Amino acid sequence: MFGISRYLTLDPSKSRLGIRTDLPWHYPLFVVHIYTAVVAIVLAWLQVWPSFRARHPRGHRIVGRVYFFAGVFPSAALAIPDSLLTTSGHDVATALLAMDLCWIITGVAGYRTARRRKYGEHRKWMVRNVAMTTSTVTLRPLNVILVAVGLNYEQAYATATWGAVLGHLLFAEWYLLRPKKKRRGAANPR
C-alpha cells in the first residue's frame, strides 16, 4: 500500500512497473487496477474479522459487496490485461496470471457460496480470497529481498510472485484445516 502514492499523481514516469508506451491506455488501466486493489486490500481484513462478522452481519454483507464489486472483481479483471502487457518478461506474466486466476476463482466461489447461503463454505473461500488479495503485500518486500541477494529483477519478481501466492494459499489452508480450540461461551453466529 505504501507504493500507491506513486500513482496518485497519474504520472506514468513514476510507475514502479514498466508501462507499455506504445499503448496509451495501458497506464490508465494499470492505475484503475491499483486503486481497486487498494479498496480490496483495505476491506479484506474487515471481512475476515470474526467479531465484526458476528456482531454486525448486515455490515459484513455491505462491506463484502463493496469488497467484491468495487475491489476484487474490477481489480482482478483488469489484472489480466495488465499481466499480459507487463514489460517484465514472460516468467513474470505467467506468475501474475496464476495469481490473478487464483484471485478470481476464490472470489467467485466465495460470492456464489454466499448467494446460496452456504456460509461455512463461503467463509473458507473468502479466507482463501483474502489470502490472494493480500499476497501482493507480501510480494513487494519479498521482491526487494530477492533482488538484494542477487537475482535479476525479472527472476526476483517472478519468484516473489510465486512465493507470495503459494505462501498465502498454504497459510490459508493451514488456517482452515488446523484443529479448532473450543472457546467457552463463544456463540456461533451462523
| Rounded average pLDDT over 94-104 | 95
What are the pLDDT digits (tens) for 165-175? 999 999 999 99
For residue 107, report the phi and psi dihedrals to the nearest 5 degrees.
-70, -45
Taking the domains of the chain in order of start, what are their residue ranges?
Answer: 2-133
Q: Is the pLDDT of residue 11 over 90?
A: no
- Whether the Cβ atoms of residue 128 and residue 169 lie closer than 8 Å to each other: yes
C-alpha cell at 27: 497506464
| Rounded average pLDDT over 89-93 | 91
Angstrom distance (rounded) from CA 70 to CA 166: 25
C-alpha cell at 19: 508501462
Name the architecture of domain 2-133: Up-down Bundle (1.20)
Looking at residue 1, its pLDDT comes to 47
Question: Side-chain half-sphere of 151: how many Cα atoms within 13 Å?
Answer: 14
- At residue 48 the predicted structure's pLDDT band, cuts being 50, 70 and 90, is confident
186 three-state secondary structure:
coil
Angstrom distance (rounded) from CA 162 to CA 98: 8
C-alpha cell at 98: 496464476
Q: Is the pTM of this model over 0.95?
A: no
